[in-house]
Amino acid sequence: MPKTASARPPATIAPFVRFAHSLSVFFPAYNDAPSLPPLIAKTFAVLDEFVEDFEVIVVNDGSADDTGAVLEELRVQYGPRMRVITHPENKGYGGALRTGFSEATKDFIFYTDGDGQYDVGDLPALLGAMQPHVGLVNGYKIARQDPWHRKVIGAVYNQFARFLFGVRLRDIDCDFRLFRRALLEEKPLRSSSGTICVELVKLLERSGMDVVELPVGHYPRLHGRSQFFRVKSLATTFVQLCRLYLMR
């Protein structure tokens, strides 16, 4: 059985310590035009310092704002190490993640959301925790910076999914995770909604490799609206959770 361990990130990470494996960094984006330039700039700064071999992938999931134009400028600015995949129509959070995972070519995958609520400056701590016996390093939010109703919905969803599927991870909907790409080959992911997080985490926990959890910062959303906290999205997530339970 895999073990789940919690730890605090190292107080300091020496500049000469670099991630010895190849890494795909992936961001799903939906109407995230204002948050993407600073996010991508910091991502490249972190990766240039800590990772030898990497690629950055952004999936534009049918955005209706200027996300497409912003991403084209960023792609030109950062060159071949950055790729943009565009969905002509919105496929939902799970659909965006499935595309990103399928496009990743490196040994490890790290992903987080394109809205800027997580700080990629926390990524080196996850990289340092990825040891040979570890399959997943997952963040957990120190203090969730969302309106109260989102905190309540998130807490109920988290506890419900943990109970229903026996997931041990403390913060299932903390989308700040690093894992081995090879583990995705064991079973295809199906969800098109936020349910994909449960599906993914359960798959990784069943791999037999250890899971490490680290505290990460969470920040207020400054632009746009979350796809998850909408009536239609919540209903879809509930239906897909039930379907996923029946297909266990």
Q: Coil, strand or helix: which one is 144?
A: coil
Question: Look-up: residue for tokens 């490799």?
Answer: 209
Tell which wins on pLDDT, 13 or 197.
197
Determine the pLDDT at residue 191: 82
Tens of pLDDT, residue by residue over 105-163, are: 999 999 999 998 999 999 999 999 999 999 999 999 886 655 556 666 666 777 767 77
List, in order of start, the domains of the chain with CATH numbers: 10-246 (3.90.550.10)
Length of the chain, in residues = 248
Whole-model pTM: value is 0.83
Tens of pLDDT, residue by residue over 169-223, are: 988 889 999 999 999 988 889 888 778 888 999 999 999 999 999 999 887 765 6
The confidence band for 167, taking pLDDT boundaries of 50, 70 and 90, is confident
DSSP letter at 208 equals S
DSSP letter at 116 equals S
Determine the pLDDT at residue 232: 58
